[in-house]
Amino acid sequence: MNPEIIRSLQELLPQIQGYIYPNEIEIHWGLLIVVYPYITGVVAGAFILASLVKVFNVKEVQPLYRLSLLTALAYLLVAPMALVSHLGHPGRFYEILLTPQTSSAMAMFGFVYAWYLMAVLLLEIWFVHRTDMIDMAENSTGATRLLYRALSLFSKDKGERAVAFDHKALKVITIVGIPSAFLLHGYVGFIFGSIKANPWWSSVLIPIVFLFSAIVSGIALVVLLYMIITPLTGGKINMKCVDKAVDFLFYAVIVDFSLEMVDFIHRVYQSEEEIKILSEMVMSKLFLSLIIVQVLLGMLVPLLLISLTKIFKKRFSLNEDMRKMVYFISVILIQFGIFATRWNVVIGGQMFSKSFRGLTTYKMEFGGIEGLLYAIVLLALPIAILFVLMKVLPPWKELREEGETGTEALGGAGM
């Protein structure tokens, strides 16, 4: 046997409890499979936030529209890296499209991904920035001019009919994009929920829980980025916009929390043979990540903080800085909570034995393809890509203008 595997088993064996089968000693879905649903969830959530403007006509969150789309694109570009890296042989990734296995939900991800990237996100971003790219091509020279001309597909039409067509196309694409976003992330929950042999995953509520936690993570991340980027670029945060986005976030967290509680109560009510080992796993192996991080810090504390801004609305309306601080802390905690949710589903589902008599453990490495360092790189990469995207397709002007307008409106409303 490989000496590294022997050393790994020697470290794991003392931490194993009860009786487990030999093939359950080592957990096969590691940190990359935790990162993968987290990233796809952000993509879906950010797009849903953008759709509030174009489909549901929520004008207050207009400043977040372009930022949401660019955030979704940045995370979408990184999403398959975690999965392909975990599967090994990343150079063969194209074979999933050339030799499709229609009976495999995982394999169909390639088509869902391609559809969402090419037919939804890139197309919507192009229509949003088309006239801006024409302007930037006209006002620049050399390679920059050529770049923007190429990005605009050499379009020069800024007439009323062309702009009106852009708006109509955007609305249609966004409407098509909403179920596509649900499909992109919902299938991840579908895969887990379909594994009947694992009672921790086998639940009809898992795909719905994944969807709402995706909406929560996407909205929270875009709000967090907006609150960081706007002051750094000399703009002023539009609190009317943030208030409205946090309202949606608040209700999404409530629904997400309620679904998870219903799922938990249903498992306890059923009290099937696995309930004892699952309870033991939650109270020992997952106590920190599930009870403390996911439930307490990731859900209850943000809900309490945002509730305070609503209960004491007058006091928080007068103190804008305090409201910003509460929102800022809440969205950061929610990110940790959602990541912990992914961890508890993926890692937790592999920690108990199919014999229902033992628990194994997960030893996270620092280096290597399945290690912590690579996972951190994957989590940081979308931010770097977003930085480049914002340089090429800057939302700064819109953010500043909307921030100033929103602030004036807020002042006029006596907030």
Predicted pLDDT at 26 = 80
Per residue in 342-357, pLDDT (tens digit) is 999 999 989 988 888 8
Mean pLDDT of 8-17: 78
Predicted pLDDT at 396 = 66
Look at residue 412 and tell me whether its pLDDT is greater than 50.
no
Predicted pLDDT at 374 = 93
Q: Which residue has the higher pLDDT, 298 or 5?
A: 298
Predicted pLDDT at 258 = 93
Look at residue 75 and tell me whether its pLDDT is greater than 80.
yes
Predicted pLDDT at 291 = 94
Predicted pLDDT at 409 = 41
- The lowest-confidence range among 79-93, 143-157, 285-299, 326-340 is 79-93
Predicted pLDDT at 408 = 44
- The lowest-confidence range among 67-71, 118-122, 184-188, 342-346 is 184-188
Predicted pLDDT at 115 = 82
Distance CA 406, CA 75 (A): 28
Instruction: Name which of 218, 173, 225 is nearest 47 in CA terms.
Output: 218
Sign of CA pseudo-dihedral 360, 364, 369, 372: positive
Predicted pLDDT at 397 = 60
- Report the percentage of the chain scoring pLDDT > 90: 36
- CA 268 to the chain's CA centroid: 29
**For residue 100, what pLDDT band results from cuts at 50, 70 and 90?**
confident
Look at residue 108 and tell me whether its pLDDT is greater than 80.
no
Predicted pLDDT at 398 = 59
Q: What value does the mean pLDDT of the chain take?
A: 85
Predicted pLDDT at 361 = 87
- Report the percentage of the chain scoring pLDDT > 70: 93
